[in-house]
Amino acid sequence: MHIRHFALSALAVLALQPLTSSAQLPPPPVPGTCPAEVPAAATCYTGEDGLGGFYWMALPSGWKPQTGVLVMHAHGGPADTGPAKRERSEADLKRWAVTVKAGYAWAGASYRRGGFGVSMAAEDTERVRRIFVRHFGPPRRTLLHGQSYGAAVASRAAELYAMVDGPTGQVRGPYDGVLLTSGVLGGGTRAYDFRIDLRTVYQYVCKNHPRADEPQYPLWQGLPMDSKLTRAELAARVDACTGVRKPAAQRTEQQKANLATITQVIQIPERSLIGHLNWATWLFRDLTQLRLGNRNPFGNATVRYKGSADDAALNAGVPRYAADPTAVADLAMDSDPQGKINVPVLTLHAVNDPTAFVELESAYREIVERAGNGALLVQTFSDESEHSYLSEPQYPALFTALLDWIDKKDKPTPQKVAALCKGYEAAYGDTCKLLPDFRSAPLASRVAPR
């Protein structure tokens, strides 16, 4: 059985191919009221991409394609697993209004649906770029910015569209540089291993997801398709077992022990436990059952867990699963980068990111270096404990460093990015927290290899 709903065939031909048939043309962008977070003089547009997705675009005052830079944004998630919503892209524009404030045009796709699909999201982002070019003209430079799961999308797009079919044969693709922030990097076959670990260790400790009186299922499925379990109900179960939503002083001794086992073995902070379990429930259901035809890409059969009060009992008691090789191959085809980049790539990651482990940067670095393209990758890190948005002056500094690399062949160092950032502190009202000398540890130091 082959993968059913992933968009696996790279549509790189779309990158430069004009839409000539009126039947193919999505409706043109229409003016929209810019969110309050966007600079007042900017102009905003919204529209539908022709495949079921939505988008927002914002142009700063005086922006012209001949001199301007477009930042294509690939958003994070995929927490929502239902139909596409226009509000998704509008929320991204609000969060990343810093891009417009810095003088760049911004465009972001909702993707045609929620749920997992890295190549699909890369194609949807590229489709919105072509809509932008058709209506506003080709920019002087186009940057691709991926945030969180969107960094996986952008890292994949950088390879899908590295070379495209042009009028006279293969030419370099539409993106001049890539920025990956708080990235879920390294590919779906590696980035989600810790969540099958979480499901199995949590079930060993708490035995309530599922409960003994509920239908049993392999945990890699996430949740049966007909289950009515809600996020609020799951959070209540987690709290009953661990007291995670209570102050530490109000937890029972058993709750303290349960919480310590889970967080120490999986190496996640307490505050992210419920969020990670949500992803390992509803996203796993979407990924394994709707996208992979009820096949399992995640195995823990050989994993040796450590960090509990009794590791021998833990390893003897956790549920064990073997991955289906065909599911692994299909997930890899959709989401795993190969390091085949041909434009500069700059990354930023908080060292204490509670959602996407900073060690994922090492996984991506190894992939790029193995492909012989390490010279095209510069990674930066910040002394922060957040995921969704880091200190604001760091973003314009990264865009400036990336454009200097593209336009002036001035490859940045982490030290240069930190120095640039200091120059933006006054205008953006926050403090730079970059750590120029930090280097991420191997992913195997955080997630048990398998």
Instruction: Report the Cα 96 to chain-centroid distance in Å.
Output: 15
Statement to judge: residues 319 and 351 lie in one domain: no
Cβ atoms of 179 and 346 within 8 Å: the answer is yes
Nearest to 343 by CA among 187, 160, 181, 195: 160
pLDDT above 90: percentage of residues in the chain: 92
The average pLDDT across 71-76 equals 98
Contact partners, residue 323, CB within 8 Å, separation at least 6: 296, 297, 298, 299
Question: Is the C-alpha dihedral spanning 130, 135, 139, 145 positive or negative?
Answer: negative
Both 308 and 362 in one domain: the answer is no
pLDDT of residue 82: 85
In terms of Cβ atoms closer than 10 Å to its own Cβ (0-12, 13-18, 19+), residue 356 is: buried
Average pLDDT over the chain reads 94
| Same domain assignment for residues 168 and 28 | yes
Provide the domain limits for residue 290. 189-331
**pLDDT digit string, tens, across residues 127-170:** 999 999 999 999 999 999 999 999 999 999 999 999 998 888 88
Q: What is the pLDDT of residues 227-268, one digit of tens each?
A: 999 999 999 999 999 999 999 999 999 999 999 999 999 999
User: Are 416 and 344 found together in one domain?
Assistant: yes
Say yes or no: 225 and 347 in one domain. no
Residue where a domain terminates, one of 264, 296, 331: 331
The whole-angstrom separation of Cα 126 and Cα 354 is: 30
pLDDT band at residue 346 using 50, 70 and 90 as cut-offs: very high
Could you identify the residue written with the tokens 């991420």?
A: 440
Q: Are residues 52 and 141 in the same domain?
A: yes
Lowest-confidence segment of 4-8, 109-113, 122-126 by average pLDDT: 4-8
Cβ within 8 Å of residue 128, ≥6 positions away: 49, 53, 55, 57, 72, 107, 108, 109
The reply to whether 121 and 199 lie within a common domain is no
Say what the pLDDT of residue 446 is. 97
Q: What is the per-residue pLDDT for 16?
A: 36
Structural domain total, the chain: 2
pLDDT-based confidence at 12, cuts 50/70/90? very low
pTM of the model: 0.94
Report whether pLDDT(9) > 70: no
Mean pLDDT, residues 386-391 = 98
Judgement on whether residues 255 and 282 belong to the same structural domain of the protein: yes
Does residue 386 share a domain with residue 350? yes
User: Of 302, 331, 360, which marks where a domain is finished?
Assistant: 331
Last residue of a domain, one of 331, 361, 386: 331
What are the C-alpha distances in Å from 397 to residues 198, 212, 329? Answer: 36, 53, 38
- What's residue 6's pLDDT? 58
